[in-house]
Structure 1
Amino acid sequence: MTTVRPNVLIILVDDMGYSDIGCFGGEIGTPNIDGLAGNGVRLTNFYNTARCSPSRASLLTGLHPHQTGVAELVNNDGPGGYPGSLTEHCTTLSETFRAAGYHTHMTGKWHLSNERERPDRSWPTRRGFERFWGTISGAGSYFQTTTLHDGETPVPVDDLGPDFYYTDEIGTHAASAIRDAADDERPFFGYVAFTAPHWPLHAKDSDLAETRGLFDEGWDVLRTRRRQRQLDAGICAADATLDRRDPDVPAWDDEPEQKWQLERMEAYAAQVRAMDRAVGTILTALDDTAQRENTIVLFLSDNGGCAEELRSDPEGADRFRRHHLIIPPSAPDGTPMRVGNSPEIRPGTADTYTSYGQAWANLSNTPFRLYKRWVHEGGIATPLIVSWPAGDLTGGVIDAPHQLTDIAPTLLEATGVPAPTERSGRRVPALPGVSMLELLHGGSAVEHDLFWEHIGNAAIRSGRWKLVREFGGPWELYDLAVDRSESNDQAADHPERVADLAARWQSWADEVGVIPYGDVLAARATMPVQPA
């Protein structure tokens, strides 16, 4: 292994399901990401936190999101809930690597501050990134991107130009930062956070042309084919069957609006293709500057596929339009924005604001059930690809379970950078995760319990067993070694195991500061409404 300190590049995508990319079973066409996997390893039992902001907080700090102040989204729920901004009581990877002599840069979506327009102590420029180009808010138009900043300087929508498309620009700006880093004697820590393929469904005509007809056989046939490709690739081969179609989703043959449904998925797929192209732009910059060999590249998604439906009725659309920081009042040509999911609104263009919905999210999450926000497998399972040509990674496909809190210890061990113990003279929590470096080198996995809580949904995974519940519901128990699709609840057959895992989950929740979700809702009821 090389003795020169490696660069680190984390690529995070937004709302992409487990099986959307080609190397995890998808048919969309993602050659750059698939190439990254072909020269690295794929972790098939890796987990995020089920939602965008908590995943970002956990990824960048190595802590559970409840320890960072960002356990749900970036709304401030006051003294009775979470503050919704990255607190001063934790250290980011960018701060840690910068203190160790690394150059640090970020491109794309931040979404870790409840202050979206005026720089404060939770902005990326104040949390260790020397260079930042991207958005502070969590979603927005791809053609008229709001809360866009170059450093701390706002980039007005009127300055973006007629050919602006946010995904392409993220790739271009990230590549520029990588090229500039090649002239610096310091290694770099880079973080690229795409908004793709998060709604709205905005795609360039050239990308849409590549996805037309790709999904004509419908979600039932496509889910079966994705599962077969996963089996052929050794992904979840022994531990999962294809889950039953979501009971709220009709059979494809019974879908009355097939043409519109196909347009939704084609637009979503076009966004994935654009993201893959931007990844290619970034990887080319590494190649052109001879930095690819000694750069640790991680690729993953912040949560599972998103089943959110955007309302098109007047009340729902008007409420959404009031979120002025994520949706412009009109298209670039002055056309009024058409908001919501309706067959009358054809997705893809700059004057629309739509999502791809539950049925296609069910396809995205093949072979699992449920979606973003839940901590069942469909909400928290993500592809994780790790590439480091100079790092002697072995294994190809790795099934050992890990989660976001394990990334920081892995990167710190790989680079020889010490874990943080304090920030501004105040002690910070010890990193709870374990390093995956030995595993990535072909060694044994470190067995450890994994934990989740999001909007009252809770889970613990201990080895092959997973205890999980929805907010207000009973605990469910699954043997993931044979039932990762969570089809056979064994809670009634193993009450002692349920009690043991529930007690371990509660101990963890108390330790990291999980606030009971009923208390969060009560606190929120007293707070003014804020934009998402």
Structure 2
Amino acid sequence: MTRLLLHPLASLLLTATALCAAQPNIIVIMSDDMGFSDLGCYGGEIQTPNLDRLAKDGVRLSQFYNAGRCCPTRASLLTGLYPHQAGIGHMMEDRGHDGYRGDLNNRCVTIAEVLKPAGYRTYAVGKWHVTKHAQPEGPKHNWPLHRGFDRFYGTITGAGSFYDPGTLTRDDTMISPFADPEYQPKQYYYTDAISDHAIRFIDEHASAQKDKPFFMYMAYTAAHWPMHALPEDVAKYKGKYDAGYESMRQARLLRMQQMGLIAKNAELSPTFGDWTQVKDKEWETRCMETYAAMIDRMDQGIGRVVGTLEKKGLLQNTLILFLQDNGGCQEPIGRQAKPPAFNEKTFPVIAQDAIRLDVIPKQTRDGQPVKQGQGIMPGGPNDYIAYGEAWANVSNTPHREYKHYVHEGGISTPLIAHWPAGIPEARHGKIEAQPGHLIDLLATCADVAGASYPAEFNGQAIRPKEGISLIPVFKGQSPASRSIFWEHEGNRAHRAGPWKLVAKENKPWELYNIDQDRAELHDLAAAEPERVQSMAAAWEAWAAHAQVLPVGAWKKPDVVKNAKGKQPK
């Protein structure tokens, strides 16, 4: 028998090639301001067949958590740290404390920065929102191409028109969607642009970089206010919400129970809003119809991305993760009783090549006023309306509270994991109840990529990652028990096993057994004082470790100048 002896270098190259062949592509998809029960596969009536398909052929987590708000969630997802450790404990402003700088710091690394040394090409599309520097010629050290990504198309800030988004950027340069020589659709709509560029990057990768795996971060702005949606999508939901809030919540609750997402005897938190007292039902239902249409369009785009992976032969070995950045949004943007006076004005035309930076614009480019107020029908480019607290309460069925808060309605998100080559077929369609958190996503990506998390990066010591890999969870294995923590705007929580300690800002601790009371209706704090004391002490130790203190630092510096180091009571 003749044996073939390989030169050591050739052997090394073969090993490297085999490793690259085994490394999966990874796509993390995140939507914006959506509730726990909006997707069809999580009990909703909104048509999401493509995400439903990923759930059917993958695994759904029923107790996965985000950070309750857009910026902290993105910071945590990207870095595998709690948001304050990455420097973004609140929003995009510097509050004078290291946990609240409003910018990713240099003590963290992004998923892209971790995966690139393992041979990955890295792409980002959509909403960035982890830096306070959002001027076209300002500092860019925390823009995507400077935090590990090879290509980027999206917005640097967090909200804006879907027809003419501010801070729109290709790679490292801000652009106007109407003077972009690379992308000129018949109708510019930001959700479609995100999907189209994800497909473009996959196509280009398959042509020029096919020997490398890729990581893609897709951050949709759907369904964040304003309620902007294309007419053909809104038409699909005409009359869908005429029964009102309570009826929609009860229907969702029943479907969730039947699916096994929540217990058969799970209770429903109180419904916000009395449908019988709504005066303008046409306007109110139109808000929810438009919201549903925004999600529908996003799902259509995800379907096209999945179709591209199939066409390229990449779907089998691509790990796709889908989640949401916070619970349904109760913020009342644009829902004033009377439209403001500027709605009657006309404005000078804005040049097609002008760079827009506005989050809430006063006008469209052609000089039409952007209208707000009760009765202004949402959907088109010259309105700017949120869908309101009552519909957010529907989105968060069956949970309490909303975005900003760390009760279940603020922090509960679907997590869909789809990976045919890595998740056993016997697990397809399963619902996994083990708690997980955003901090786990970097650890998961590094695990499947065979990437090492660095102790040092660019000469700077890096904080140890906080999360664990979820791959064993996807396969049905149970990791060691652990605690998970939250703080946002003084709202705070600690989850340990079935127990959750939670409080609003400056309010006493509440205690719930989440296994028995996911709606957080039966406070056990008085009956379990020792558990409350122990869990509160653990939260305080975590807060000191994670740069959360002083609690209240999210407010303007003059509000907290005398509160340094004080603990909430």
Residue 481 (str. 1) matches residue 515 (str. 2): yes
Amino acid at match of 1:430: P
Q: Which residue of 2 aligns with 1:83?
A: 101
Q: Equivalent of 1:138, from 130, 134, 158?
A: 158
Residue 352 (str. 1) matches residue 399 (str. 2): no
Q: Which residue of 2 aligns with 1:500?
A: 534
Structure 1 unaligned spans of 5+: 528-532
Q: Equivalent of 1:414, from 443, 448, 461?
A: 448
CA distance in 1, matches of 2:196, 2:233: 17
Residue 31 (str. 1) matches residue 64 (str. 2): no
Deviation of 1:146 (Å): 1.0
CA distance in 1, matches of 2:153, 2:379: 25
CA gap 1:172/1:491 in 2 versus in 1, 3 angstroms:
same
Q: Which residue of 2 aligns with 1:387?
A: 418
Deviation of 1:78 (Å): 3.3
Contact 2:24 2:213 in 1 (8 A): yes
CA distance in 2, matches of 1:195, 1:429: 29
CA distance in 1, matches of 2:205, 2:108: 27
Q: Equivalent of 1:331, from 360, 364, 373?
A: 364
Contact 2:339 2:374 in 1 (8 A): no
Q: Which residue of 1 aligns with 2:70?
A: 52
Residue 267 (str. 1) matches residue 290 (str. 2): yes
Q: Secondary structure at the match of 2:105?
A: coil
CA distance in 1, matches of 2:556, 2:435: 35
CA distance in 1, matches of 2:38, 2:480: 29
CA distance in 2, matches of 1:171, 1:258: 33
Structure 2 unaligned spans of 5+: 1-18, 343-355, 562-569
Contact 2:118 2:449 in 1 (8 A): no
4+ residue segments displaced more than 6 Å: 313-318
**Which structure has the greater CA radius of gyration?**
2
Q: Which residue of 1 aligns with 2:122?
A: 104
Q: Which residue of 2 aligns with 1:432?
A: 466
Contact 1:11 1:299 in 2 (8 A): yes
CA gap 1:227/1:524 in 2 versus in 1, 3 angstroms:
farther
Q: Equivalent of 1:463, from 488, 497, 507?
A: 497
Q: Secondary structure at the match of 2:316?
A: coil
Contact 1:146 1:157 in 2 (8 A): no
Q: Which residue of 2 aligns with 1:180?
A: 204
Deviation of 1:469 (Å): 0.2
Contact 1:304 1:380 in 2 (8 A): yes
CA distance in 1, matches of 2:107, 2:396: 35
CA distance in 1, matches of 2:268, 2:560: 43
Deviation of 1:387 (Å): 0.4
Of 84-93 and 392-401, deviating more is 392-401
Deviation of 1:515 (Å): 2.6
Q: Which residue of 1 aligns with 2:353?
A: none
Deviation of 1:237 (Å): 2.1
Of 433-442 and 262-271, deviating more is 433-442
Deviation of 1:171 (Å): 0.3
Residue 491 (str. 1) matches residue 509 (str. 2): no
Deviation of 1:412 (Å): 1.4
Deviation of 1:480 (Å): 0.7
CA gap 1:512/1:316 in 2 versus in 1, 3 angstroms:
farther
CA gap 1:132/1:504 in 2 versus in 1, 3 angstroms:
same
CA distance in 2, matches of 1:317, 1:72: 32
Q: Equivalent of 1:449, from 477, 483, 486?
A: 483
Q: Secondary structure at the match of 1:78?
A: coil
Contact 1:17 1:365 in 2 (8 A): yes
Contact 1:299 1:386 in 2 (8 A): yes
Contact 2:37 2:395 in 1 (8 A): yes
Q: Equivalent of 1:300, from 303, 317, 323?
A: 323
CA distance in 2, matches of 1:241, 1:324: 44
Deviation of 1:446 (Å): 2.8
Q: Deviations over 1:495-520 (max 9, x none)?
A: 10000000000010000110333344
Q: Secondary structure at the match of 2:124?
A: strand
CA distance in 1, matches of 2:539, 2:551: 15
CA distance in 1, matches of 2:98, 2:469: 34
Amino acid at match of 2:539: W
CA distance in 2, matches of 1:369, 1:79: 31
Q: Which residue of 2 aligns with 1:530?
A: none
Q: Which residue of 2 aligns with 1:190?
A: 216
Q: Equivalent of 1:165, from 183, 189, 196?
A: 189
TM-score (norm 2): 0.88
CA distance in 1, matches of 2:111, 2:455: 12
Contact 2:501 2:536 in 1 (8 A): yes
CA gap 1:460/1:238 in 2 versus in 1, 3 angstroms:
farther
CA gap 1:113/1:80 in 2 versus in 1, 3 angstroms:
closer
Contact 1:119 1:152 in 2 (8 A): no
Residue 342 (str. 1) matches residue 360 (str. 2): no
Amino acid at match of 2:501: L
Percent of pairs with identical residues: 42
CA distance in 1, matches of 2:237, 2:91: 32
CA gap 1:443/1:520 in 2 versus in 1, 3 angstroms:
closer
Q: Deviations over 1:152-175 (max 9, x none)?
A: 111125426661000001000001
Q: Deviations over 1:468-504 (max 9, x none)?
A: 0000101000011100100001101111000000000
CA distance in 1, matches of 2:319, 2:518: 29
Contact 2:99 2:547 in 1 (8 A): no
TM-score (norm 1): 0.94
